[in-house]
Amino acid sequence: MTTEENTQLKVFEQEIVDSIPMDRQDEVRDLLKEFEQASHSQKRTAVVAKILDWWLIPLDWLIGLLPWLGDAGPRLLLSWYYLFEISKVKLSWRDKAKIFAYNAIDATVPMIPIFGDIFDFFRKADQRTADIFEKHLQQLKKKLRQKNVDEQTIQDITNKTWKVAAKIAAKMGR
């Protein structure tokens, strides 16, 4: 996001907060910031899931065809990436445990010859992780609606985060 877009977003958020009664402004401001960060994380994990799980031949599966290192090495890197995303978003301990379980299973089971490769092709662990972030984002949207933040505002923040995700995807495609 450019400096100008970032400044516009801050002004936009301040306008939203100013329209809320004074006694709830801090709560709404914090919720908006959490929503924005969760939206960014959800978009980034969705891009990773699309690249690794949903191409015609999933990249995760192709990398996994390399004996031993093909499954554990990339999955270890992805676990660190997911740890980075989790640190930015207030996920429940249960959701955090699910993400790590998905990654542990996806790192170990595919090491079993033939069965593991078939399992890896259909497992879609990264999509399941992206779904957890999406569920969290939907919960935050519900909280924002309860605080009387209008639907257009929520959509505007979501659209701005899609621009960032598109830039990331374009850089990864080069």
85 assigned to some structural domain: yes
154 assigned to some structural domain: yes
**DSSP designation for 1:** -
3 assigned to some structural domain: no
User: Which tens digit of pLDDT belongs to each residue from 6-22?
Assistant: 666 666 666 666 666 66
Q: Of 133 and 5, which is predicted with more confidence?
A: 133
Q: What is the mean pLDDT of the chain?
A: 76
The mean pLDDT value for 125-140 works out to 90
- Enclosing domain of residue 46: 42-173
Residue 63 parent element (H or E): helix 59-64
Which pTM was predicted? Answer: 0.70
Chain centre to alpha carbon of residue 15: 27
Q: Of 62 and 89, which is predicted with more confidence?
A: 89
Q: Which residues of 117-126 are buried (b: 16+ CB within 10 A; e: fewer)?
A: bebbbebbbb
Residue 72 parent element (H or E): helix 69-88
Q: What is the pLDDT of residue 11?
A: 63
153 assigned to some structural domain: yes
User: Which tens digit of pLDDT belongs to each residue from 72-109?
Assistant: 677 778 888 888 898 889 899 999 999 999 888 887 87
Above 90 in pLDDT, residue 135? yes
Q: What is the pLDDT of residue 83?
A: 87
Query: How many structural domains are present in the chain?
Result: 1
- Number of Cβ within a 10 Å radius of residue 92: 11
Distance between CA atoms of 42 and 162, rounded to whole angstroms?
10
- Number of Cβ within a 10 Å radius of residue 7: 11
Distance between CA atoms of 44 and 47, rounded to whole angstroms?
5
User: Which tens digit of pLDDT belongs to each residue from 143-163?
Assistant: 888 887 778 877 877 777 666
Of the pLDDT bands very low, low, confident and very high (cuts 50, 70, 90), residue 174 is very low
